[in-house]
Chain A
């Protein structure tokens, strides 16, 4: 117990990064398992009926918040807490203790979040469900919103002070991306979860989708790309192909990502000019996406074959390719003529998994296999498990996305021909089963991943001196 406490509230360099990663993986396994359970309710709707906490409407927010706020955001925090000190030329964060407290607070918020969501305390806005409502006097306060905001600000302060107190005076592009994400996301979060401004109906929807898309655009995209800009040169040993391109990508993300939210409600009666702004900026998203990917793939030049033997690089490359697919799909879906057909269908659910599982989670997987040996001083327990993790997750998302795209088209045909729901919903039964099968593959992969990481972390330490700015050593 004492050892665990001292590991949690440690001042040791990189301990915050390690602790964040270990807990994030727990939320990953929990979040994906809940997702699998929710998907099984499509196959056998009566299997768990009568249990309020396990009905689909309660499980879905737990799945979403578990993987988004629990796994991905904490995984990003872990990556930032390793990459920022290294790039700033510091040994460890400005305050590892503050970092570890942030980790503890974040996990407490997530535990409370899962319990309150299961018991029906939700804000009922997509991606912003965390509420934790408490009533003081006549007012109700959603403390979990404030808790997430506080941990994001603590994260931002720590990252900022680390950069400011570092010895390296030139900012590598990843630092731009991380500090940008840590500046943008708290603002987006407070707008999305506002409890202090009452907006009428459709204005609430507009603002809700401003948040709903920018949690992806200004946090997951920006953070994930920042991680990859650090990892790809490290993995390949090549210098970054173009610093100018990376900066063009950074600025255009800031310009074009933020106004795109309204493309989620294109057929609703919101102002037409706002829809046009959203569609046009969605198409312009191709600019940052293509600059970023050109940069990634040109940096990989001559080193593609190393991916055969280098598991983190494999994760990184498949994540990059999934990013290309996502971001070609995204602007294509946002145009009015395509959105007309696929809106409201499972196609979009497939797209969300392509972005968050196939792209950004893969980036964090790649980073974690690189970071864990460096923050713990231990070799990864098993390369074979990592390879299994890769293939199970890869096939899992491919099956899921292809399946959901087809299911979405069937569903959309039902809507557009005015066929009653209880008739076309029967057609989708095989697709629900295939989705659950892909979910089994994904959950299995994540359990192997958790086993591999925990086995590594709790094994005896193999090297005393943690590397300050490690290069070239490949542990997996």
Chain B
């Protein structure tokens, strides 16, 4: 009878070894992602910061991977990003924000103040205070945080893929996107579908934007001068990955999207960051009063292209 136990025991061992092989040895030997630009080789100072991050248990509340369902989480992570991350700090539970793209988002001094007294920088936060870290440790920790996702930032804007350009070329004859008639038609569609987030003036300050981690685009930024018609069409149709921008191709018709493109092109794209010219802004008593320099609406349109006044009155750009 005893021998049967040994046969059965042998099976226990065998099955378990096979499972260990499949779930740990096999991935370790076949899963060899190529390091991406986001894979960061840490300097000794950053490594010391990473060890502080581990020691203080930051990874219990902060995760380090953007999932495909995380709207506003920033750029997606790739397998090769983690080549130098041992031990891994993926995390299991997110009480605080995901930190995969935190690098470069805030200044070093902001991080230090936030670690000393989190409630001061973010009211309502429940992060513990790390005021007990020495200045050197705080420097190291912040140096580590600033590396996170630094290599994941895109070098410039993205061009639309070839199939999208082909699609645009095939339908662009349907609507003249440079005509004011098309822009007027697009304006109605914008007010109904887009203004809730992007704001009625396209400043990215619609009421829903308050609740968004990743703020909606401000179309008055000079950045949008770079947008080709096909690019506008692509973004409207397919949405923007990593944000809450919907894929309007699912609900709007092709002509409607072309009308939108026509309208978006008419928005002023010359606003400057507020900091650059903050001193030259004049005091305005009533922001809604029409500027008296403009006698007629036609004259006004000729000067600024915007019936509400000059672009610097549009408020702070994002």
Stretch at the interface among A151-159, A195-203, A318-326, A358-366: A195-203
- Asked if B118 and A124 make an inter-chain contact with CB atoms under 8 angstroms apart, the answer reads no
- Closest chain A CB from B198 CB (angstroms): 15
- Asked if B244 and A258 make an inter-chain contact with CB atoms under 8 angstroms apart, the answer reads no
Q: Which residue of B lies closest to A203 (CB)?
A: B28
Contact of A419 among B59, B122, B130, B213 (CB under 8 A): B213
- Asked if B124 and A422 make an inter-chain contact with CB atoms under 8 angstroms apart, the answer reads yes
Q: Does A210 contact B (CB under 8 A)?
A: yes
With a cutoff of 8 Å between Cβ atoms, the chain A residues found around residue B97 in the complex are 420-421
Bits for A177-201, please: 1 = Cβ < 8 Å to B, else 0.
0001001100100010000001111
Residues B1-48 near A (CB distance < 8 A)? 1-2, 5, 12-13, 15-16, 19-20, 22-24, 27-28, 30-31, 33
With a cutoff of 8 Å between Cβ atoms, the chain B residues found around residue A92 in the complex are none
- Asked if A198 and B55 make an inter-chain contact with CB atoms under 8 angstroms apart, the answer reads no
- Asked if B54 and A265 make an inter-chain contact with CB atoms under 8 angstroms apart, the answer reads no
With a cutoff of 8 Å between Cβ atoms, the chain A residues found around residue B113 in the complex are none
Contact of A416 among B55, B63, B71, B125 (CB under 8 A): B71
- Asked if A201 and B31 make an inter-chain contact with CB atoms under 8 angstroms apart, the answer reads no
Q: Does B58 contact A (CB under 8 A)?
A: yes
Contact of A267 among B68, B84, B130 (CB under 8 A): B68
With a cutoff of 8 Å between Cβ atoms, the chain B residues found around residue A49 in the complex are 128-129, 131
Stretch at the interface among B88-96, B161-169, B270-278: B88-96
Q: Does A452 contact B (CB under 8 A)?
A: no
- Asked if B244 and A269 make an inter-chain contact with CB atoms under 8 angstroms apart, the answer reads no
Q: Does B226 contact A (CB under 8 A)?
A: no
Q: Does B252 contact A (CB under 8 A)?
A: no
Q: Given contacts A418-B213, A420-B213, are A210 and B24 in contact (CB under 8 A)?
A: yes
- Asked if B129 and A202 make an inter-chain contact with CB atoms under 8 angstroms apart, the answer reads no
- Asked if B54 and A122 make an inter-chain contact with CB atoms under 8 angstroms apart, the answer reads yes
- Asked if B24 and A201 make an inter-chain contact with CB atoms under 8 angstroms apart, the answer reads no
- Asked if B56 and A57 make an inter-chain contact with CB atoms under 8 angstroms apart, the answer reads yes
CA distance A262 to B125 in the complex (A): 31
Stretch at the interface among A28-36, A39-47, A235-243, A379-387: A39-47
CA distance A262 to B93 in the complex (A): 15
CA distance A270 to B31 in the complex (A): 8
Q: Does B156 contact A (CB under 8 A)?
A: no
With a cutoff of 8 Å between Cβ atoms, the chain A residues found around residue B206 in the complex are none
Q: Which residue of A lies closest to B125 (CB)?
A: A422
The number of residues on chain B lying at the interface, defined by a beta carbon within 8 Å of a beta carbon of chain A, is 72
- Asked if B55 and A122 make an inter-chain contact with CB atoms under 8 angstroms apart, the answer reads yes
- Closest chain B CB from A206 CB (angstroms): 5
Q: Which residue of A lies closest to B19 (CB)?
A: A258
Q: Given contacts A202-B82, A206-B24, A345-B93, are A267 and B31 in contact (CB under 8 A)?
A: no
Contact of A208 among B27, B56, B87 (CB under 8 A): B87
Contact of A191 among B24, B67, B213 (CB under 8 A): B24
Q: Does B296 contact A (CB under 8 A)?
A: no
Bits for B101-145, please: 1 = Cβ < 8 Å to A, else 0.
000000000000000001100111111111110000000000000
With a cutoff of 8 Å between Cβ atoms, the chain A residues found around residue B87 in the complex are 123-125, 204, 208
Give chain A's interface residue range (CB within 8 Å of chain B): 35 or more
Contact of A258 among B16, B55, B65 (CB under 8 A): B16
Q: Which residue of B lies closest to A340 (CB)?
A: B69
Chief secondary structure at chain B's binding surface: loop
- Closest chain B CB from A106 CB (angstroms): 24
- Closest chain A CB from B37 CB (angstroms): 15
Q: Does B85 contact A (CB under 8 A)?
A: yes
With a cutoff of 8 Å between Cβ atoms, the chain A residues found around residue B28 in the complex are 199, 203, 206-207
- Asked if B15 and A254 make an inter-chain contact with CB atoms under 8 angstroms apart, the answer reads yes
Contact of B2 among A169, A203, A265, A415 (CB under 8 A): A169
- Asked if B212 and A419 make an inter-chain contact with CB atoms under 8 angstroms apart, the answer reads yes
With a cutoff of 8 Å between Cβ atoms, the chain A residues found around residue B81 in the complex are 201, 269
- Asked if A61 and B57 make an inter-chain contact with CB atoms under 8 angstroms apart, the answer reads yes
Q: Which of A121, A198, A202 has the most CB of B within 10 A?
A: A202
- Asked if A277 and B22 make an inter-chain contact with CB atoms under 8 angstroms apart, the answer reads yes
With a cutoff of 8 Å between Cβ atoms, the chain A residues found around residue B57 in the complex are 55-58, 60-61, 122, 124
With a cutoff of 8 Å between Cβ atoms, the chain B residues found around residue A271 in the complex are 27, 30-31
With a cutoff of 8 Å between Cβ atoms, the chain A residues found around residue B128 in the complex are 41, 45, 49, 55-57
CA distance A206 to B82 in the complex (A): 12
- Asked if B69 and A418 make an inter-chain contact with CB atoms under 8 angstroms apart, the answer reads no
Q: Does B290 contact A (CB under 8 A)?
A: no
With a cutoff of 8 Å between Cβ atoms, the chain B residues found around residue A277 in the complex are 22-23
- Asked if B124 and A254 make an inter-chain contact with CB atoms under 8 angstroms apart, the answer reads no
Contact of A183 among B13, B65, B71 (CB under 8 A): B13
With a cutoff of 8 Å between Cβ atoms, the chain B residues found around residue A57 in the complex are 55-58, 60-61, 128
Q: Does A171 contact B (CB under 8 A)?
A: yes
CA distance A180 to B133 in the complex (A): 46
CA distance A201 to B85 in the complex (A): 4
Q: Which residue of B lies closest to A432 (CB)?
A: B126
CA distance A426 to B95 in the complex (A): 12
With a cutoff of 8 Å between Cβ atoms, the chain B residues found around residue A4 in the complex are none
With a cutoff of 8 Å between Cβ atoms, the chain B residues found around residue A51 in the complex are 132
Please list the 7 inter-chain residue pairs (A to B) with the smallest Cβ-Cβ separation, ordered nearest first: A57-B57, A201-B82, A49-B129, A418-B72, A267-B67, A418-B71, A124-B54
Which residues of B pack against A, CB within 8 Å?
1-2, 5, 12-13, 15-16, 19-20, 22-24, 27-28, 30-31, 33, 54-61, 63, 65, 67-72, 77-79, 81-97, 118-119, 122-132, 211-214, 243-244
**Can you name 8 A-B pairs with beta carbons within 8 Å?**
A123-B87, A200-B82, A267-B68, A270-B27, A271-B27, A344-B63, A421-B213, A422-B122
